[in-house]
């Protein structure tokens, strides 16, 4: 199935580094289900809000995150629909794992190295991570 990126996803993706744009545009063409781009560039104000809420380990002041560059070196994705069979995507991490496989595979095909927020150290294990951000992908 070929899913098109929606206008809001395209707008957010356009804030990202061209290599990330290439990978995400390739991934949506091979994905077994639709997904949305929920964030590319992130302002320092938004970074601070996410840090204070515990959704990020980076405050944006003492250390900039990959989202805080222009263009952004990171993108956050969300499997669509967000709620499937009364279960949210965040309650069903397997949907993120499938999406990660598609995105990482697209990166390999495009010759672009990525780091995924479900396996920060890239060792192939998701169980040894201190912080999981399953929808997060960044350039390595």
pTM, entire model: 0.94
What whole-number distance in Å separates Cα of residue 43 and Cα of residue 95?
28
**Per-residue model confidence (pLDDT) at position 1:** 72
Q: What is the mean pLDDT of residues 50-75?
A: 94
Convert the pLDDT of each residue in 70-126 to its tens digit: 999 999 999 999 999 999 999 999 999 999 999 999 999 999 999 999 999 999 999
What whole-number distance in Å separates Cα of residue 116 and Cα of residue 84?
23
Mean pLDDT, rounded, of the chain: 95
Model confidence at 22: pLDDT above 90:
yes
Model confidence at 31: pLDDT above 80:
yes
Contact by Cβ (8 Å): 96, 87: no
- For the domain covering 7-139, report its CATH number: 3.30.1380.10
**What are the sequence ranges of the domains in the chain?**
7-139
| Coil/strand/helix, residue 76 | strand
What whole-number distance in Å separates Cα of residue 82 and Cα of residue 116?
20
**Per-residue model confidence (pLDDT) at position 109:** 98
**Per-residue model confidence (pLDDT) at position 39:** 97
Q: Where are the alpha helices (DSSP H) in 1-138?
A: 7-13, 18-30, 44-52, 93-110
Asked if the peptide bond before residue 88 counts as cis, ω within 30 degrees of 0, the response is no
Q: Which residue is it, tokens 């515990």?
A: 54
């Amino acid at each position: 199935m070929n899913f098109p990126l929606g206008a809001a996803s395209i707008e957010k993706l356009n804030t990202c580094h061209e290599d990330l744009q290439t990978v995400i545009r390739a991934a949506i063409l091979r994905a077994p289900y639709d997904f949305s781009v929920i964030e590319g560039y992130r302002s320092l104000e938004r970074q601070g809000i996410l840090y204070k809420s515990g959704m990020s380990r980076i405050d944006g002041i003492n250390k900039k995150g990959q989202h805080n560059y222009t263009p952004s070196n990171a993108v956050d994705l969300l499997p669509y629909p967000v709620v499937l069979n009364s279960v949210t995507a965040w309650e069903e991490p397997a949907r993120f794992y499938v999406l990660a496989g598609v995105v990482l595979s697209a990166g390999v095909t495009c010759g672009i190295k990525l780091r995924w927020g479900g396996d920060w150290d890239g060792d192939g294990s998701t169980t040894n991570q201190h912080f999981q951000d399953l929808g997060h992908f960044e350039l390595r």
